[in-house]
Amino acid sequence: MNSKRNFSTSSILTVVLFLLSFLLVNGAAAAAPEEIVEIKGTVKAVSNKAKTVSVTVEGKGVIMLKFTEATEFVNAKSGGDIPPPTAVVVKYKTVGADNLATYIKKDLVQLPDGVAEIKTAELAALVAKGPWDGKYCLIDSRPAQVAAAGHLPTAATIPVNVLAEKGEKLLPCDKDKLLIFYCGGPT
């Protein structure tokens, strides 16, 4: 009778071990929440039809992510509002073979203290007055070749790399003038 009990106990243990290994292999036992990963990079491509965004991340290459109705877009309404090469911060989790974006935010430049954003209508009113009457200096800080293709009326072209090197010498001496800079990137 003891041998029968031993056989039955070992049979039960064998079945339990088999079921546990089966559950682990198939992921059913992995009930722990998925890890959320945060990346910063530049949008390479967006497909609203496929609901995917490809982000180039330094040191990692291009990461393909899916977004859904549950994805939280910050300072954008959808994937269509983040065209290449917009800088983004993305939080995602891996579900099966997919990287599922839970959060996508444009990584906008923070203006330093004492610097304010000017609205389009306000700038248009100043440009209509001209730099003397409007008391402003408008600077196009895009690369020279880009600025040469077209720029805002009354703008002086001083590319950002030149500003970094010689800015103090190139800016107006009149400190009462409003300095307005613009570039080609999203800020």
Query: Residue 133 phi/psi, 5° resolution?
Result: -70, -35
Domain that holds residue 52: 37-106
Interacting residues of 51 by C-beta distance below 8 A, sequence separation 6+: 66, 67, 68, 79
**132, 147, 148: which is closest to 181 by C-alpha?**
147
What are the structure tokens assigned to 146, written together?
């880009």
Tens of pLDDT, residues 89-142: 999 999 988 999 999 999 877 778 888 888 999 999 999 999 999 999 999 998
**Residue after which a domain boundary falls, among 75, 106, 137:** 106
- Please report, rounded to a whole number, the percentage of residues in the chain having pLDDT higher than 90: 47
The span from the CA of 146 to the CA of 173, in Å, is 27
102 and 154 in a single domain? The answer is: no
- The count of structural domains within the chain is 2
122 and 136 Cβ atoms separated by less than 8 Å: no
What are the structure tokens assigned to 81, written together?
């509002």
